[in-house]
Amino acid sequence: MKKLSHTDDKGKARMVDVGNKPAQQRTALAEGHIKLSTETLKLIKDNQVRKGDVLTVAEIAGIQAAKKTSELIPLCHPLSLTKVKVNTEIVEDGVRVTGEARCIGQTGVEMEALTAVHIALLTIYDMCKAIDKTMLIGDIKLLEKTKTDL
């Protein structure tokens, strides 16, 4: 029987050893969407949500979350991120969030980009939950990941 690469000899979960991999420039881009009512979108555009500037707070929350990914997801390696960028964009039926993460390291940054998007979307949800009971978070996906030799 083939041993799974993420388990030890006793079948216990473990972090993957990336120690022998070369350091590379790594990037990842993810996105997601939250569907909002027309009224909620207007309040966000006019900066009239009682909790504050929804889009700015969501972007900051996403950046903060990316930096804490290894604390949230048990088998993720802690990374020295060189860049995290979170953008929010009002679209016809809600807000689209994109998250980009970069590092120079031995493992990818897709979990950081995805975590940034998830937390930014959850922040929008939290800030608008008192005014919109129809919100729907979805379409969260990794768009791209790259690695380039140094």
The mean pLDDT value for 19-24 works out to 93
pLDDT tens-digit map of 88-106: 999 999 999 999 999 999 9
- State the catalytic residue, choosing from 9, 126, 139, 149: 126
149 an active-site residue?
Answer: no
The predicted structure's pLDDT at residue 2: 47
Q: Examine the pLDDT at 7 and tell me if it is beyond 80.
A: no
The pTM of this model reads 0.92
Find tokens 């990336």 and name the residue: 18
* Residue from 129, 131, 127, 112 nearest 58 by CA: 127
Enumerate domains of the chain plus CATH numbers: 24-145 (3.30.70.640)
Average pLDDT, the chain: 94
pLDDT value for 9: 67
Q: What is the mean pLDDT of residues 70-99?
A: 97
